């Protein structure tokens, strides 16, 4: 019998690439995002490969998340993979110049949304037991601070620690939990972060051979299909072009 994956943020980037990867293997898919027209197009694209259910869902709307998951049709209820991928960064300004509404949106999406979806799907994941997985999209931003990362970095540090906490609590259930932490990756992420600044997007990725969404999809597929006695706790992935810098040191005059 086909397994079912529930993917948040399937309308672009990593989520869309993962939907395509799992569809190619015949998984049943529940695909969510806010942009309905994109979900319709993805449904048309993938429905010859697998059973697809697309749901227009804002992960920040806790009531909608709960009622939508409670009302999943019977053939999509046995979710054995939750890919908590929906997320965003907004802005790159220093903290003292940031817009509080953007901070709140990042916290609402990357923390509250992710925890709400997880909470709603935990019973079914535990029911599936051995071989079921939760894969959370963390980031190198959760490990390494950088100027202008402030709240975004904080949200991804939460994702990592929450993933470890889930691992502890789910011990004995068979459900696996992974914090997948990519580095520089080319998707719509930078367009969203900069309010649609194509030049900023092009400049960031130019000449870097960044991670592509298909790379992450391959990694997610690998994690989800490992033998059921194995758990990848944490996986940090960077493009070869990316590495660390020395600490910055401010010198007074």
The secondary structure of residue 134, as a DSSP letter, is: E
DSSP state of 61: -
| Residue 5 near residue 22, CB atoms below 8 Å | yes
Q: For ligand NDP, which is the closer residue by CB, 142 or 175?
A: 142
Rounded CA-CA distance 118/126 in Å is 11
Q: Which of 146, 152, 164, 221 is catalytic?
A: 152
In the complex with ligand NDP, the residue whose CB is nearer, 33 or 128, is: 33
Residues 116-175 that bind ligand 8X3 (CB under 6 A): 139-141, 149
Beta bridge partners of 237: 182
Count of residues binding ligand 8X3 (CB under 6 A)? 5
Interaction of residue 86 with ligand 8X3, rule CB under 6 A = no
Please report which residue ranges of 54-181 form alpha helices under DSSP H. Answer: 62-70, 100-106, 114-128, 150-169
Minimum CB separation of residue 82 from ligand NDP in Å reads 14
SS3 180: strand
The one of ligand 8X3, ligand NDP, none whose footprint includes residue 142, by CB under 5 to 8 A per kind, is none
* Nearest-angstrom CA–CA distance, 30 and 18: 12
**Pick 109 or 178: Cβ nearer ligand NDP:** 109
Minimal distance, residue 6 CB to ligand NDP, in Å:
12
Binding residues for ligand NDP, per CB under 6 A? 8-15, 33-35, 58-60, 85-88, 109, 113, 137, 139, 182, 184-185, 187-189, 192
List b or e across 128-156, with b for residues whose CB sees 16 or more CB atoms inside 10 angstroms: beebbbbbbbbbbbbbeeeebbbbbbbbb
Is 52 a binding residue for ligand 8X3 by CB under 6 A? The answer is no
Question: Do residues 28 and 3 lie in contact, with contact meaning Cβ atoms separated by under 8 Å?
Answer: yes
Is residue 152 flagged as an active site residue?
A: yes
CB of 216 to ligand NDP, least distance (A): 8
Question: Which residues contact ligand 8X3 (rule: CB under 6 A)?
Answer: 139-141, 149, 183
* Residues classed as catalytic: 152
């Amino acid at each position: 019998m086909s397994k079912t994956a529930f993917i948040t943020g399937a309308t672009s980037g990593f989520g869309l690439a993962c939907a395509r990867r799992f569809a190619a293997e015949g998984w049943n898919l529940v695909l969510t995002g806010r942009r309905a027209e994109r979900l319709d197009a993805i449904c048309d694209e993938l429905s010859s490969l697998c059973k697809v259910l697309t749901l227009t869902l804002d992960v920040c709307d806790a009531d909608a998340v709960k009622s939508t998951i409670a009302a999943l049709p019977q053939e999509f209820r046995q979710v054995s993979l939750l890919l908590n991928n929906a997320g965003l960064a907004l802005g790159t300004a220093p903290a003292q110049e940031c817009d509080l509404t953007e901070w709140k949106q990042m916290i609402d999406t990357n923390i509250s949304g992710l925890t709400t979806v997880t909470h709603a799907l935990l019973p079914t994941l535990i029911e599936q037991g051995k071989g079921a997985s939760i894969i959370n999209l963390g980031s190198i931003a959760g490990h390494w601070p950088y100027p202008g990362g402030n709240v975004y970095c904080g949200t991804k540090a939460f994702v990592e620690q929450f993933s470890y906490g889930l691992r502890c609590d789910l011990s004995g259930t068979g459900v696996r939990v992974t914090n997948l932490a990519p580095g520089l990756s080319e998707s719509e992420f930078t367009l969203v972060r900069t309010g649609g600044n194509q030049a900023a997007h092009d400049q960031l990725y130019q000449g870097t051979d960044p991670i592509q969404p298909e790379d992450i999809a391959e990694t997610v597929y690998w994690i989800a299909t490992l033998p059921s006695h194995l758990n990848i706790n944490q996986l940090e992935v960077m493009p070869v072009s990316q590495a660390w810098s020395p600490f910055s040191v401010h010198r007074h005059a």
